[in-house]
């Protein structure tokens, strides 16, 4: 099998961009072209100043600087790139359906299908097609059917190569992956050759023992299951956090004790305001939908609970703010620090902040938002997408600030919704001094030092610990002493 010399990636998003940048860096002899129908996005990837590329990902600008216009190109000429490529990665968006059959559960495969039809109509040489987007099990079969029945008679091999990178650490995850998974048709000679062609690319920097090859459906299902297990851990510890708040146990201490059991492990046990991101909810919903479609109702119900718990955690956090502020937040300024679904990304898909803001606006609060990386218009479009109220109403009730101290000025309460490092080093005494008293601080990420915040005078609420204020601490200390 000859070595691949030309790759095209359809979709210049959070997955396609960083993945192709790393392939281009590690395989200088391969020409990699990333295409997208969104011309603004492509223009941003081609911005002279690499700090202005459309996604914020630590370490990515440096790689882009090194490889862009060397062997990595960003373009809107989709057909041309398809024709030139020997291997095509499909990395388009696959959100949850918002209409019709499977609404709110199944993945919307309309972009994948359009992509497949486009490849079929313009390809004039044999191609290896690689699924990169997160997809329900058996999507490869759909792709194969469209490609072979609508194509020009050229041959297509379909591989599944799910992406396990997490945003914020994408470059590290791509450079040193725990494993690379490649699913393909192992029964067929051409299928095996296609698998080997992709293995050869990853072998340039990933030890062979970490490259797993499986059948296509195992590969697709492994991706959904990995995300379902990770999300389940977060929901499990979040379920325990509520119990901790009632009993006086501390969720951080519980997580620490659990994590030291080598069978359990310490990762993904940080209790939070709820998980977000483009994958967890979508993948679990996919899993649930697939299970239901096979009549496996207990399986579906089991995984559905992970989402039920997550929705509960987000609502509980917002309700706790309202309850603590004497049961009304109407007309009160409440500041949300962080809008992204986690730190070190400007991605806001399914971010807990969106639900919390919506809940508090329904309670007639005036919301102030500061996030170091998320653009103002993105915040409004996230809120608008819930269709709870008009865009004008959202803009009246929520204001976005570019300075965190201005955002916190005259607030009745602050809620930390993303674990950005910079929040830890703020001058919290200065923030306390310019707030309305009592000054409430709700730490949705257990980021700040409880004792320090209590000493400054805040009424401090973290996740999974009993509510505390400075006064309560003094009484307790006296008792113990």
Say if residues 147 and 175 touch (Cβ distance below 8 Å).
no
Q: Which is nearer to ligand ADP, 227 or 271 (CB)?
A: 227
Cα distance between residue 319 and residue 69, in whole Å: 51
Catalytic residue status for 279: yes
Q: Which is nearer to ligand ADP, 164 or 426 (CB)?
A: 164
Site map for ligand UDX, 192-231, x if CB under 6 A? -----------------------------------x--x-
The reply on whether position 234 binds ligand UDX by CB under 6 A is: yes
- State in angstroms the smallest separation of the CB of 220 from ligand UDX: 13
User: Residues binding ligand ADP: what is the number (CB under 6 A)?
Assistant: 21
Q: Which stretch binds ligand ADP (CB under 6 A): 89-97, 284-292, 430-438, 466-474?
A: 89-97
Site map for ligand UDX, 136-175, x if CB under 6 A? ---------------------------xxxxx--------
Cα distance between residue 173 and residue 176, in whole Å: 5
Q: Which is nearer to ligand UDX, 165 or 251 (CB)?
A: 165
The reply on whether position 276 binds ligand ADP by CB under 6 A is: no
Site map for ligand ADP, 22-41, x if CB under 6 A? -------------xxxx--x
The reply on whether position 17 binds ligand UDX by CB under 6 A is: no
Q: Which stretch binds ligand UDX (CB under 6 A): 31-39, 79-87, 263-271, 362-370?
A: 263-271
Site map for ligand UDX, 277-316, x if CB under 6 A? x-xx------------------------------------
Contacts of 12 (CB under 8 A, 6+ apart): 34, 35, 36, 38, 41, 42, 45, 54, 74
Residue from the set 12, 159, 290, 417 that interacts with ligand ADP by CB under 6 A:
12
The reply on whether position 143 binds ligand ADP by CB under 6 A is: no
Q: Which does 423 bind (CB under 5 to 8 A by kind): ligand UDX, ligand ADP, none?
A: none
- State in angstroms the smallest separation of the CB of 18 from ligand ADP: 9
Residue from the set 14, 275, 440, 460 that interacts with ligand ADP by CB under 6 A:
14
Q: Which is nearer to ligand ADP, 112 or 221 (CB)?
A: 112
Quick one: which of 441, 466, 423 has its CA closest to 252?
466
Q: Which is nearer to ligand ADP, 14 or 275 (CB)?
A: 14
- State in angstroms the smallest separation of the CB of 224 from ligand UDX: 10
- State in angstroms the smallest separation of the CB of 96 from ligand ADP: 13
Q: Which does 277 bind (CB under 5 to 8 A by kind): ligand ADP, ligand UDX, none?
A: ligand UDX
The reply on whether position 115 binds ligand ADP by CB under 6 A is: yes
Q: Which stretch binds ligand ADP (CB under 6 A): 91-99, 208-216, 257-265, 409-417?
A: 91-99
- State in angstroms the smallest separation of the CB of 324 from ligand ADP: 36
- Which single residue brings its beta carbon nearest to ligand ADP? 13
Q: Which is nearer to ligand UDX, 167 or 185 (CB)?
A: 167
Quick one: which of 281, 355, 347, 350 has its CA closest to 317?
355
Cα distance between residue 374 and residue 331, in whole Å: 25
Q: What are phi and psi of 457, to 5 degrees?
A: 115, -5
The residues in 340-369 that bind ligand UDX, with binding defined as CB under 6 A, are 341-342
**Of 8, 279, 408, 434, which one is the catalytic site residue?**
279
- State in angstroms the smallest separation of the CB of 150 from ligand ADP: 15
- State in angstroms the smallest separation of the CB of 257 from ligand UDX: 15
Contacts of 346 (CB under 8 A, 6+ apart): 55, 56, 340, 373, 374, 375, 378
Burial class (CB in 10 A: 0-12, 13-18, 19+), 3: exposed
Q: Which is nearer to ligand ADP, 57 or 358 (CB)?
A: 57
In DSSP terms, 441 is beta-bridged to 414, 460
Q: Which stretch binds ligand UDX (CB under 6 A): 27-35, 66-74, 267-275, 431-439?
A: 267-275
Q: At what angle do helices 352-362 and 376-384 cross, to 10 degrees?
A: 70
Q: What are phi and psi of 305, to 5 degrees?
A: -60, -25
By annotation, the residues acting in catalysis are: 279
Query: Applying CB under 6 A, which residues contact ligand ADP?
Result: 10-16, 35-38, 41, 78, 91-93, 111, 114-115, 133, 278
């Amino acid at each position: 099998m000859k070595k691949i010399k030309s790759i095209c990636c359809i979709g210049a998003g959070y997955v396609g961009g960083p993945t192709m940048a790393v392939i281009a860096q590690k395989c200088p002899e391969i020409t990699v072209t990333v295409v997208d129908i969104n011309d603004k996005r492509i223009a941003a990837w081609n911005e002279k100043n690499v700090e202005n590329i459309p996604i914020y990902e630590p370490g990515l600008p440096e790689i882009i600087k090194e490889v862009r216009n060397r062997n990595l190109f960003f373009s809107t000429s989709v057909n041309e790139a398809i024709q030139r490529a020997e291997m095509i990665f499909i990395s388009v968006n696959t959100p949850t359906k918002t209409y019709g059959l499977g609404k709110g559960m199944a993945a919307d495969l309309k972009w994948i299908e359009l992509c497949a039809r486009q490849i079929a109509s313009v390809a004039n040489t044999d191609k290896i097609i690689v699924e990169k987007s997160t997809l329900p099990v058996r999507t490869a079969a759909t792709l194969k059917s469209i490609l072979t029945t609508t194509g020009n008679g050229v041959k297509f091999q379909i591989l599944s190569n799910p992406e396990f990178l997490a945003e914020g650490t994408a470059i590290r995850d791509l450079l040193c992956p725990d494993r690379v998974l490649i699913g393909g048709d192992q029964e067929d000679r051409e299928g095996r050759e296609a698998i080997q062609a992709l293995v050869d690319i990853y072998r340039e920097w990933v030890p062979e023992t970490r490259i797993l090859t499986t059948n296509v459906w195992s590969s697709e299902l492994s991706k959904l299951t990995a995300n379902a297990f990770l999300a389940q851990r977060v929901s499990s510890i979040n379920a325990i956090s509520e119990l901790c708040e009632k009993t006086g146990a501390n969720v951080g201490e519980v997580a620490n004790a659990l994590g030291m059991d080598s069978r359990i492990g310490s990762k993904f046990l940080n209790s939070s305001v709820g998980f977000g991101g483009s994958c967890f909810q979508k993948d679990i919903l996919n899993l649930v939908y697939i299970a239901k479609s096979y009549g496996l109702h207990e399986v579906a119900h089991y995984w559905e609970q992970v989402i039920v718990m997550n929705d509960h955690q987000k609502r509980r956090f917002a309700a706790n703010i309202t309850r603590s502020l004497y049961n009304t937040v109407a007309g009160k300024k409440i500041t949300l620090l962080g809008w992204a679904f986690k730190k070190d990304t400007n991605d806001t898909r399914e971010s807990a902040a969106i639900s919390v803001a919506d809940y508090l606006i329904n309670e007639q609060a005036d919301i102030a938002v500061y996030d170091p990386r998320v653009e103002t218009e993105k915040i409004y479009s996230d809120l608008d997408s819930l269709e709870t109220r008009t865009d004008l109403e959202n803009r009246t009730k929520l204001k976005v600030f570019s300075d965190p101290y201005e955002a916190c000025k005259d607030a009745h309460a602050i809620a930390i919704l993303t674990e950005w490092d910079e929040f830890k080093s703020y001058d919290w005494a200065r923030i306390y001094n310019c707030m309305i008293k009592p000054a409430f601080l709700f730490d949705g990420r257990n980021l700040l030092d409880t004792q320090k915040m209590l000493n400054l005078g805040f009424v401090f609420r973290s996740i999974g610990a009993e509510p505390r204020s400075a006064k309560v601490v003094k009484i307790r200390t006296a008792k113990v002493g």
